[in-house]
Amino acid sequence: MSEAPGRTSTGFALGIDIGGTFTDLVLTGMAGERHALKVLTTPDDPSRAVVEGVATLLKHSKVTTRSIARVVHATTLFTNALIERKGAMTGLITTAGFRDVLEIGRERRFELYDLNIRLPEPLVPRDLRLEVAERTGADGSVDTVVDEEEVSRAGTALVEAGVGSIAVVFLNAYAAPQNEQRATAALRKAFPQIALTASHEIVPEVREFERSSTAVANAYVKPLAAHYLDGIRDKLAALDIVAPLSLMLSSGGFTHIAEAKSAPVHLLESGPAAGALAAAHLGKGEPRLLAFDMGGTTAKLCIVDDGVPLVAQGFEAGRTRRFMEGSGLPIRVPSVDLIEIGAGGGSIAHPDSIGLLKVGPQSAGSVPGPACYGLGGAEPTVTDANLVMGVLNPGYFAGGTIAIDKAKAEAAVAALGKRLGLSMLDTAWGIVNVVNENMASAARVHIAERGRDQRAYVLLVTGGGGPVHGFQVAKKLGLKVMICPPSAGVASAFGLITAPARVDRVATVGMRLDEADLGRLEARYRALEEEALATLEQTGARRQDALIERTADGRFVGQGFYLSVRVPPGPYTERSALRAAFEQGYREKFTNTPPQVTVEFVNIRVTASAAAANIPPPAASTGRSESNASPASRKVYFKEAGGELDTAVYRREQLPERFEANGPLLVEEEGSTLVVAPGGRVTLEDNGNLVVEVAP
């Protein structure tokens, strides 16, 4: 077994984060050494950018392949396949009478008065959803045993129709999986080449629509995941990297490749989760953080309280309306609770039908990319606008590894300005201001819905665009302080390295606390813990290093939905402690509790985790002098200050100790540029973080 993630003391850890525009790579040593690289993603074959980038990084860093002890990978490949409907042709075998669950859903219109409402299309068309006779009761009793021959006939029909993956979803399989097990065994024997997903193995909890949707989503991306993960593992091995490949989970932990191939639906939000983990690690000491990560395609924001990102028990994928709950496919797996906004460096600016300036959600991505990339893109993007305004240095974009043509950016922005009746600089400012307001507006809603006051938080910015836009976003949110850590541009890849090994398990119990058998409840929790620990050990973690957390999905009897709250570790002897834990969580969310109403636990959950190695944050620059080095200068457009201003430009690696300066100024490093507008003030802390006081 490989060395436990919490015990690694030698060698390097490699983080690989594939985004929509850039692929980020970070090599971090246990002694604090750090090497990073940002390369353009190759959409036709994302692994190509990884292999080429890793080879380049190893060459420049002079780190040997055999000194790499751990590799952690995150990718948007699977969620993009689901959103773009580029997964496998998938079939569904379900209980007789339930083939339309995916379309019926909860019979809820997310926009009540929209006559042209567009609901999300099921991943499996109706002609590929077949029924078989079987029935399991909600109490786990098997009323009708499934006929394996009938299942095989349904499988034959699906395979002949061309499906490459089959989901098996039977009614109440969460309570007793025997019929699903018989069906999948029959299908596996008859069609060994077909990918199979049984719902009880992916989400063994109540609610048929959510369980069906999640199982089908897993089946939809499973063949792609197996092909990609095997390929990237083999390609890394061809580079002579023998360290085991681990995969980032949406929940903020990592798992081993076999688990990832079996349940790739748990990886859908792996990239965004890494950014939140990075912020939590790099912002240690701040009890309330807003982790703001802006890349080339999207921006993400997550609340981090006391060093722990908020985690939700589900999310929606492929929404037809980005900010409209209910307009997407429900995915019932744990995920870091964040909001994604279609606002990145590659977001395309355009006039709408009445001539108003809009930005995104369409993105130029890495191919053809913004106009300034010179790869065929002609439409103006946020990156083009920042170049026109003087914010970005065309000679030092991504550390000088990507050639930039400022003239093409100016031509694209000027052409849009002509359509809008604005000057080139005002058009560029308008693009940036619109995208900043989009991000701030989405952040306000996200924070308020979670019962937080945004003014009590500090903004920590990461990603290539986070430091560029963070000052104005913080100002719009009314925040007083912003933090920009070292190597902010590749922070998500660094966050992968800091991720713990993690396993989540769930079971439906349906217990009223006033009638609950506490011994039975404790036994169910212990069974989940044992299952989680056994899986955790397969990542290389040691059982004795694991941390166990228990939660419960509870509600007051009569409520239709439930709230997930932490509960005491057990063993349980008093009902009052469990009720008190639920009421505390309920008050944190809703302020008050109803009087004298019984609490019911619907689902119970267990999380087993083992912390990663104590990896130091990216080191602050070394060899700095006590006195300020003379900065360079260039004109940058600040409309709020009246126009173009002579702006000091610093290189982060050359900043002196105890550096302090007033805006306007820019601090450049390989992966990003920190913008401090007039009225702001920046201070370099001993840990390498740049702390910015935001002007009111």
pLDDT at 10 over 70: no
The mean pLDDT value for 628-657 works out to: 89
Q: Do residues 182 and 67 both lie within one domain?
A: no
Residues 196 and 234 in one domain: no
Q: Are residues 24 and 124 in the same domain?
A: no
Write out pLDDT tens, residues 673-682.
Answer: 999 999 999 9
Kind and range of the H or E run holding 273: helix 270-282
- Inside any domain, residue 336: no
Q: Distance of alpha carbon 539 from its chain centroid, rounded?
A: 21
Q: How confident is the model at residue 327 (pLDDT cuts 50, 70, 90)?
A: confident
Asked if the structure places residue 474 within a domain, the reply is: no
Beta bridge partners of 482: 459, 692
- 601 and 642 together in one domain: no
Residue 20 lies in a domain: yes
Is it the case that residue 343 has pLDDT exceeding 90? Answer: no
pLDDT tens column, 357-375: 999 888 888 888 899 999 8
pTM score, whole prediction: 0.86
User: Considering its fold, how many domains does the chain have in total?
Assistant: 5
DSSP 544: G
On the question of pLDDT at 6 being above 60, the answer is no
Of 549, 575, 610, which one is at a domain's C-terminal end? 610
Position 619 scores a pLDDT of 54
Report whether pLDDT(667) > 70. Answer: yes
- Three-state secondary-structure class, residue 242: coil
Q: Does the pLDDT at position 577 exceed 70?
A: yes
Q: Which of 578, 610, 642 is the last residue of a domain?
A: 610
Average pLDDT over residues 64-76: 90
The total of other beta-carbon atoms located within 10 Å of residue 596's CB is 6
> Per the domain annotation, does 580 fall within a domain?
yes
Query: Distance from CA of residue 169 to its chain's centroid?
Result: 27
Residues 113, 176 within the same domain? yes
What confidence score (pLDDT) does residue 662 get? 94
Determine the pLDDT at residue 617: 57
Residues 188, 94 share a domain: yes
Q: Helix (H, G, I), strand (E, B), or coil: what is residue 647?
A: strand
What's the pLDDT score for residue 624?
Answer: 52
User: By residue range, what is the domain housing residue 655?
Assistant: 632-693
Q: Measured between alpha carbons, how far is 367 from 80 in angstroms, rounded to an integer?
A: 15
Is 467 part of any domain? Answer: no
Residue 280 has pLDDT above 80, yes or no: yes
Q: How is residue 541 written in tokens? A: 């973690």
Domain identity same for 206 and 235: no
Answer yes or no: are the C-beta atoms of 549 and 566 closer than 8 Å.
yes
Domain membership of residue 91 (yes or no) is yes
Residue 559 near residue 593 (C-beta atoms within 8 A): no
Closest CA to 127 of 87, 160, 105, 152: 160
Domain boundary among 406, 433, 460: 433
User: What average pLDDT does this structure show over 220-231?
Assistant: 95
Q: Is residue 326 part of a domain?
A: no
Question: Are residues 75 and 140 located together in one domain of the fold?
Answer: no
Is 107 in the same domain as 146? yes
In a domain, 475, yes or no: no
Supply the pLDDT for residue 350. Answer: 94
Q: What single DSSP character describes residue 103?
A: H
Query: Do 554 and 644 lie in a common domain?
Result: no
Q: What is the mean pLDDT of the chain?
A: 90
- β-bridge mates for residue 690, sequence order: 484, 684
12-18, strands of its sheet edge to edge: 34-40, 22-29, 12-18, 68-75, 245-248, 254-256, 501-512, 599-610, 547-556, 563-566
Highest mean pLDDT (candidates 281-290, 393-402, 469-478, 610-619): 469-478
Predicted pLDDT of residue 621? 47
In terms of domains, do 69 and 112 share one?
A: no
Mean pLDDT of 230-241: 94
Coil, helix or strand for 122?
coil
86-106: average pLDDT: 94
Residues 130 and 194 grouped into a single domain: yes
Please give the pLDDT value at position 9: 45
Q: Which residues pair with 636 in a beta bridge?
A: 645
Q: What is the mean pLDDT of residues 410-437?
A: 95
